[in-house]
Amino acid sequence: MALLDLAMQGLAVFGFILFFVLWLMHFMSIIYVRLHLHKKRPEVKQPFMQLAGVSLLKPLKGVDPNLISNLETFFTLDYPKFEILLCIQDQDDPAVDVCKKLLGKYPNVDARLFIGGKKVGINPKINNLMPGYEGAKYGLVWICDSGIRVKPDTLTDMTNQMTEKVGLVHGLPYVADRQGFAATLEQVYFGTSHPRSYISANVTGIKCVTGMSCLMRKDVLDQAGGLVAFAQYIAEDYFMAKAIADRGWKFSMATQVALQNSGSYSIGQFQSRMIRWTKLRINMLPGTVLEPVSECFLASLIIGWAAHYVFRAALCASRSSTLQSPGSSGSRWRCRSSCRLCGTQPSAGGLDATGYVAEAPLRRSSMSSYLGDGPHLPLHPHLLITARRGRD
């Protein structure tokens, strides 16, 4: 019994700690977003024509309804010096036709198409990007997933964050407005629990980066062995960020989010994505096995039980101290069922407004016994007068 009581007390303490930690993360994220993502900044921190050149690496596979519109936003970027490197693994991939169409529509944009990839490891994304990475001609490399759409000034915003001590600029994952329940579910997730963990981790110095949209220094990646060095990992974004951090470079978050706008989505796809992410995080960081505890439903159950346990114990202690105090009078109170917290047993009587039972008062032989010496139950004034007249 003692071990069980100790375990319950420990779980209650854990529930309250979880409550305060989650709210701290929540407020921390809100404040950071308000100060950083919504802060009014000058459009350009440095002369526009002096912005560093950027090589955009775009891994593509398959076609969804929004692919062409998403890709087109990169062809209309308002940036003085950049190139678009479209990378496709399979010659028969329908994305090839989409890319050729955009290349013909925007002949003045520095863009190239790489087909075939290069087998250098187990990571298919790295294999796909290798020809484009080897052909990149600028010092900054921007790896951006196919389902991302951007604004004309997105790249300007990211390069403005690339200061002297920053080696990687990443965008906070979010989801564009789309129709359907699955799209709403994704937007709720990427607008609540995910950014709470993502932002609070970065604020506290924990390196938390997703590879949806990352701007990195190419020379730093080359020092770590180039893109090929990360082909042995499935979660290449984590190890690329780690390699940059290990070399003393800082991270910065762009003021614009990485806006996911895939045209193919469903509940099953969302579930598979979450399972895949969870498996990767647990394999890389075993401590993240506790991450589901921070999710709203499970956290609510733990915190709610902890509050019930603690406040019920406090109420039982208050009842007990009242009964044991000298000179206390009135009906005795006990829990309506066997209570492990105060050690009482069930007793007969009616329930009061709080859900506890009032033991029936001791019966006396006559009304006069209540009016004699010693403690007695208070009576209504009218009844008291009537009783005294009867005694007199």
Say whether both 357 and 242 belong to one domain.
no
State CA 52 to chain mean position distance: 33
Cα separation, 309 vs 300, in Å, equals: 14
The answer to whether residue 267 sits within a structural domain is yes
The answer to whether residue 98 sits within a structural domain is yes
Say whether both 76 and 225 belong to one domain.
yes
R_g of the chain, CA atoms, integer Å: 33
- Residue 354 has a pLDDT of 47
Say whether both 245 and 336 belong to one domain.
no
- Residue 98 has a pLDDT of 95
Q: How many domains does the chain have?
A: 2
Query: Nearest CA to 74 among 176, 152, 145, 160?
Result: 152
Q: Indicate if the alpha-carbon torsion angle 124, 128, 133, 134 is positive or negative.
A: positive
Inter-axis angle of helices 95-105 and 67-75, nearest 10: 30
Cα separation, 194 vs 177, in Å, equals: 17
The answer to whether 160 touches 46, Cβ cutoff 8 Å, is yes
Model confidence pLDDT, tens digit, residues 323-381: 555 554 444 444 444 455 555 555 444 444 444 444 444 444 444 444 444 444 444 44
The answer to whether residue 222 sits within a structural domain is yes
3-class DSSP state of 88: strand
The answer to whether residue 314 sits within a structural domain is no
Q: Supply φ then ψ for residue 102, to 5 degrees.
A: -70, -35
Say whether both 209 and 340 belong to one domain.
no
Q: Domain ends where: 291, 323, 343?
A: 291
Say whether both 241 and 386 belong to one domain.
no
The answer to whether residue 326 sits within a structural domain is no
Q: Domain ends where: 232, 267, 291?
A: 291
Model confidence pLDDT, tens digit, residues 10-51: 888 888 888 888 888 888 888 888 887 766 655 545 565 578
Residue 205's DSSP bridge partners are none
The answer to whether residue 22 sits within a structural domain is no
Say whether both 194 and 277 belong to one domain.
yes
Q: Mind telling me the catalytic residues?
A: 237
The answer to whether residue 123 sits within a structural domain is yes
Cα separation, 207 vs 246, in Å, equals: 11
- Residue 193 has a pLDDT of 80
- Residue 33 has a pLDDT of 82
The answer to whether 264 touches 65, Cβ cutoff 8 Å, is yes
The answer to whether 114 touches 80, Cβ cutoff 8 Å, is no
Cα separation, 111 vs 127, in Å, equals: 20
Residues in Cβ contact with 180 at an 8 Å cutoff, skipping those fewer than 6 apart: 265
Say whether both 287 and 336 belong to one domain.
no
Say whether both 222 and 344 belong to one domain.
no
- Residue 145 has a pLDDT of 93
3-class DSSP state of 91: coil
Say whether both 278 and 380 belong to one domain.
no
Parent domain of 250: 41-291
- Residue 341 has a pLDDT of 52
Say whether both 72 and 133 belong to one domain.
yes
Q: What is the DSSP letter of 43?
A: S
Say whether both 266 and 360 belong to one domain.
no
3-class DSSP state of 38: coil
Residues in Cβ contact with 229 at an 8 Å cutoff, skipping those fewer than 6 apart: 243
Residues of the chain short of pLDDT 70, as ranges, are 1, 38-49, 284-292, 319-392
- Give the side-chain half-sphere CA count within 13 A for 99: 22
For residue 230, what is the domain's CATH number? 3.90.550.10
Say whether both 214 and 363 belong to one domain.
no
Query: Nearest CA to 119 among 237, 233, 231, 235?
Result: 231
State CA 4 to chain mean position distance: 32
Query: In 42-180, which ranges are continuous DSSP H helix?
Result: 67-75, 95-105, 124-134, 154-161
Q: Domain ends where: 291, 306, 324?
A: 291
DSSP state string for 156-202 = HHHHHH--TTEEEEE--EEE---SSHHHHHHHHHTTTHHHHHHHHHH
The answer to whether residue 324 sits within a structural domain is no
Percentage of the chain beyond pLDDT 90 is: 40
Label the pairing between strands 148-149 and 173-175: unpaired
- Residue 54 has a pLDDT of 96
CB-count exposure of residue 253 (10 Å: 0-12, 13-18, 19+): buried
The answer to whether 371 touches 388, Cβ cutoff 8 Å, is yes
